[in-house]
Structures are given as C-alpha cells and as structure tokens.
C-alpha cells in the first residue's frame, strides 16, 4: 500500500485506516491484515520505487514526500546501478522484527536479495543501510544469520538515526496519536499506531529510559517506562499489551537485541528539540481522546531521544567486529538520509569518492 496524500483527506482517511489496521491473534500469536484486505509492504522490492519518493503521484512535491531519493541520486552519480548493485528493501512498517521471520516473509526475501546481489557482483559483499525503525529491523535480521553467512554476504551495516532503546514519541502516538507534523488532527493515525506491532516495539525500554522519571503525567497517576502495561490497561488497549508482552517473552524487545556481528557505523543527530514527557489534565481511560495539556522537551533528533540514540554506545559489548559512532549536532531525524555530511560519511564507509 502506497502512502497517498489524497487518502489522508477527511473523506478518505477512514478507509485508509481500516485497510492499515493490524490484527493480532492472541491464541496463535500471529499477525494478520484486516479481513478482506491485502497489503504489500514490499513495493518494488529490489528496486528503489518503494522508498525513493513515498507518494510518486506527487513527484512535483518530492521535497515533501521524498525519502531516500537524494541518497539514491548521489549513489547513481557514483556509478551504482539500480537492480545491479543498488537495491531498496522496503517492508511492512506496521510489524516488529518478529513479524518478518516466517518463511516467504520479509527476512527471507531480504536474505535472497542479498545473496543474489553478491553473486551478481562477483562475490562482493553488500552493505546494508537502515534508517529509524529500519535499524532495529536490520539488526534483528543480522542476529538470525550465521557467522559464516554474514562473513560471505555482508560487508557492513550503516545505521542512520536508529531507534535503539525506544522513543517517548511512541507513547504520545498511543495515547493521543502523532501526526508527524502533517496538517491533520493529532489522533488521525492513532488507530493504526495503537494496533501496529512496530509501535509497541519502539516504546521506551526501562533499561534505556530511567524508570523513575514519568513520561506521562495525569491528574490520577504517572506512567514511566516501567508502566507501559498499566498505561495500556487504563486505555483499554488489550492488543497493544499482548503484542508488548510477546516481544519481551520472545526476546525481541529492543534492549534484548544483540550487538551486530558485522562492521557497523552508527550515526545519529542531537541538539534538536525532542519531546520526552506529556502532561494531561484528565485521567486516562478507555475511549480517551485528547492532546497533552503541555509537553516537556529534551535533547535528541526531534523523534529519537538522545538517551536512545546513545544506547549502542552504552550497551553493546566492545568485543566483536568494529563499531564506529558518529554524531551530528542539529541533525534532525528525517534529514539523516539527506544530509550532505552524513552522505559523505556513508560514501567514505562504502569506499566511494566525493560526489
């Protein structure tokens, strides 16, 4: 399913949200689309059409819906060729890593794409580049592969603006909704955000966010990173709670993911105003609708709190393939795939000259 600007208009958005809502079966612990709906999370898989410009119908507004397009154009200028040694691997962003593991699902497709690319390029191992949710999604994929397979097929992992320990904005998404700055009501996408496994996956982990510091404050109680299940219970979000428990029980939670076993470059931004706590003037209850009375801010990239960006530096063991860390002051979350300084660093890792 493409992001289509026309489908977030008021008369169309209920159909869009119905189609995107993720279903979770508590008994079988499996995910599914809404009955009668088929969603292709891998549009133009292996090409770049699924992640270059999010709404190709509005190409003239690519500044608004462009995603990887700038980086792709620069890589092409450096003689990379789409379909030969440059590929996109989009995925269903509603899912956490556990939802990609079944045969024929995303991780199987990604592994096959990498293998075919390495063969096509005379055994040259591939670099993987991920952004935001793509970073833990890639990290979990790497953790499932053997050392022998990785040494043959993966030259390195470049992680841009990764969500390593969660983000407080995901709490806002579940309580009030988050419109990502779009000119629509805050709760427009909340229905999907509450059902998505990726949302539960990116909630703040107590190992990263001090469980003594409230993230949500209301007139009846406060909620910290250790109180997510209580938050779900008070909002009546049984599916979100079930998914959250599954991720932790299956050892897929962000703070349970291992260090990457390939050379890795971690890049993040800081010095950008980033929300970190939300104050409400009423209690939370099932059916709650409302924005915070006010927000409190701290450091980060505007989406990922700095403490989460720093999690690999703090938690990953030093033993293993080399990991380098690079931070950029004033680098906003969505600019990590467009910034010239970041691109030059990426090209340096790839062994490409300045373009």
Q: What is the mean pLDDT of residues 233-260?
A: 97
Closest to 129 (Cα-Cα) out of 354, 321, 342? 342
| Bridge partners for 195 per DSSP | none
Q: Do 82 and 68 meet the contact criterion of CB atoms below 8 Å apart?
A: no
What is the pLDDT, as a whole number, of residue 269?
Answer: 98
Residues 180-188, mean pLDDT to the nearest whole number: 68
Burial bucket for residue 126 (CB in 10 Å: 0-12, 13-18, 19+): middle
Q: Smallest Cα–Cα separation from 242: which of 197, 281, 189, 302?
A: 197
Give the per-residue pLDDT at 355: 60
Q: Which residues contact 121 (CB under 8 A, 6 or more apart)?
A: 84, 85
Residue 158: helix, strand or coil by DSSP?
strand
Residue 321 sits at φ, ψ, to 5 deg, of -55, 150
Residue ranges per structural domain of the chain: 41-350
Average pLDDT value over all residues in the chain? 92
With 90 as the cut, is the pLDDT of residue 2 above it? no
CA–CA separation, 154 and 58 (whole Å): 35
pLDDT (0 to 100) of residue 5: 59
Contact present, 159 and 138 (Cβ < 8 Å)? yes
Rounded mean pLDDT, 319-330: 97
Query: C-alpha angle with apex 64: 134 to 346, nearest 5 degrees?
Result: 45
Cα 205 to Cα 130, 196, 211, 225, 233: the distances in Å are 21, 17, 9, 6, 18
Helix (H) or strand (E) holding 264: strand 264-270
Nearest to 163 by CA among 200, 114, 128, 191: 200
Q: What is the pLDDT of residue 41?
A: 83
Please give the DSSP secondary-structure letter assigned to residue 324. Answer: E
pLDDT in tens, 265-318: 999 999 999 999 999 999 999 999 899 999 999 999 999 999 999 999 999 999
Q: What is the mean pLDDT of residues 175-195?
A: 79
Residue 60 has pLDDT above 50, yes or no: no
DSSP string spanning 33-100? Answer: EPTT----S-TTTTSSTTTSBS-GGGGGGHHHHBSSHHHHHHHHHTT--BTTTB------TT--GGGG
Three-state SS for 305?
strand
Per-state percent for the chain, helix, strand, coil, to nearest 5: 40, 15, 45
Quickly state the pLDDT bin for 344 (edges 50, 70, 90). Answer: very high
Query: What's residue 189's pLDDT?
Result: 80
Can you give the pTM of this predicted structure? 0.93
**What percent of the chain is modeled with pLDDT above 70?**
91
> Which tens digits make up the pLDDT trace of 73-86?
999 999 999 999 99
H or E stretch covering 223: strand 222-223
Q: What is the pLDDT of residues 3-31, one digit of tens each?
A: 565 655 655 567 878 888 999 999 999 99
Least confident of 10-19, 37-46, 144-153: 10-19
Both structure tokens of 117: 């690319």
In this prediction, residues 193-205 reach a mean pLDDT of 96
Tokens 């779900």 belong to: 232
Average pLDDT of the residues in 59-83: 83
Mean pLDDT calculated for residue range 88-93: 95
Residues whose CB falls within 8 Å of the CB of residue 303, separated by 6 or more in sequence, listed in order: 132, 161, 167, 169, 274, 333, 334
Q: What band does 59 get if pLDDT is binned at 50, 70 and 90?
A: very low
Tokens for 287? 């059916």
Q: What is the C-alpha to C-alpha distance for residues 98 and 30, in angstroms, rounded to an integer?
A: 9
Tens-digit pLDDT profile for residues 157-173: 999 999 999 999 999 99
Pick the CATH number of 41-350 from 3.40.50.720, 3.10.20.30, 3.90.850.10, 3.40.50.1820: 3.40.50.1820
Task: Residue 143: name the closest of 172, 168, 111 by CA.
Answer: 111
**What is the model's pLDDT at position 56?**
62
């Amino acid at each position: 399913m493409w992001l289509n600007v026309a489908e977030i208009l008021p008369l169309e958005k209920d159909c869009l949200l119905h189609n995107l809502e993720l279903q979770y079966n508590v008994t079988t612990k499996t995910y599914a689309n809404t009955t009668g709906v088929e969603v292709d999370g891998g549009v133009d898989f292996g090409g770049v059409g699924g992640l270059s410009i999010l709404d190709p119908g509005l190409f003239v507004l690519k500044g608004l819906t462009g995603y990887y397009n700038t980086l792709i154009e620069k890589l092409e200028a450096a003689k990379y060729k789409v379909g030969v040694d440059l590929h996109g691997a989009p995925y269903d962003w509603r899912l956490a890593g556990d939802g990609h593991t079944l045969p024929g699902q995303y991780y199987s497709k990604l592994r096959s794409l990498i293998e075919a690319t390495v063969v096509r390029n005379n055994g040259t191992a591939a670099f993987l580049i991920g952004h935001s949710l793509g970073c833990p999604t890639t990290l979990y994929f790497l953790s499932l592969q053997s050392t022998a397979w990785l040494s043959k097929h993966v030259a390195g992992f470049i992680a841009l603006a990764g969500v390593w320990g969660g983000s407080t904005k995901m709490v806002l998404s579940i309580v009030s909704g988050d419109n990502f700055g779009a000119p629509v009501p805050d709760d427009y996408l909340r229905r999907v955000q509450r059902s998505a496994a990726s949302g539960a996956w990116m909630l703040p982990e107590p190992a990263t966010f001090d469980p003594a510091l409230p993230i949500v404050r209301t007139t009846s109680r406060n909620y910290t990173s250790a109180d997510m299940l209580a938050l779900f219970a008070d909002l009546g979000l049984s599916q979100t709670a079930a998914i959250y428990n599954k991720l932790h029980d299956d050892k897929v939670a962000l703070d349970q993911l291992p260090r990457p076993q390939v050379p890795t470059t971690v890049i993040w931004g800081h010095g950008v105003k980033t929300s970190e706590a939300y104050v409400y003037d009423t209690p939370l209850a099932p059916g709650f609708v409302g924005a915070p009375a006010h927000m409190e801010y701290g450091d980060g990239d505007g989406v990922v709190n700095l403490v989460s960006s720093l999690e690999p530096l703090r938690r990953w063991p030093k033993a293993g393939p080399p990991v380098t860390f690079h931070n950029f002051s004033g680098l906003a979350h969505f600019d990590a795939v467009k910034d010239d300084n970041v691109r030059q660093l990426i090209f340096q890792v790839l062994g490409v000259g300045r373009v």
